[in-house]
Amino acid sequence: MLKKISTMISIFSLLLIFSFSIQASDVIQFPDSDLKVALLRQLGKSPNDEISIAEAENAPQTLDLSQASISNLERIQYFKNVTFLKLHENNIQDLTPLSNLTKLKILLLNDNLIEDIGPLANLKNVTLLNLNNNQVTNLQPLQNIPTLYYLYI
């Protein structure tokens, strides 16, 4: 009887450890803490919480991450269902993490440090793009976005 109880405790412990390791791997690790805090705010969570991949995929379609001192967008690509993204008045230079957010329709990037908009070429559903007050000199990446009706530079 004691052996059965010991075996059951061991199995339960292993299952518990395994379930925690799976959950820990589902947590998104953000290189930019300002991005993480801004996203947590949008999700109605406290600044010390974590964001799972599932939460990112089920996040609201509109995210307001403006005026949040964000400089690195890495990991925003997990928010793949976002259609309206406000990123104005930050310190953003690299737009690469946005390149797979193909459901985006409205993208506000004004008042950042952006020079290269090449990563936006894949965003075929964007209808409004605000790039005011950046250092963009080449708009060619946007010429194959058929839905782009409003462009502010």
Which pLDDT tens digit goes with each residue over 4-47?
Answer: 555 445 555 544 454 444 455 699 999 999 999 999 999 999 99
Q: Answer whether 0.95 is exceeded by the pTM.
A: no
Which residue is associated with the tokens 């307001």?
A: 64
Tokens of 32: 């930019």
Does residue 54 lie in a domain region?
yes
What are the two backbone dihedrals, phi and then psi, of residue 129, each rounded to the nearest 5 degrees? -135, 120
Q: How many domains does the chain have?
A: 1
Phi-psi region of 75 (alpha: psi -120 to 50; beta: other; left: phi over 0): left
Q: What's residue 14's pLDDT?
A: 47
pLDDT digits (tens, 9 = 90+) for 111-143: 999 999 999 999 999 999 999 999 999 999 999
CA distance 40 to 51: 7
Which residue is associated with the tokens 């509109």?
A: 62
Q: What's residue 10's pLDDT?
A: 53
Kindly report the CATH number assigned to the domain that includes residue 80.
3.80.10.10
Residue type, 112: N
Does residue 16 lie in a domain region?
no
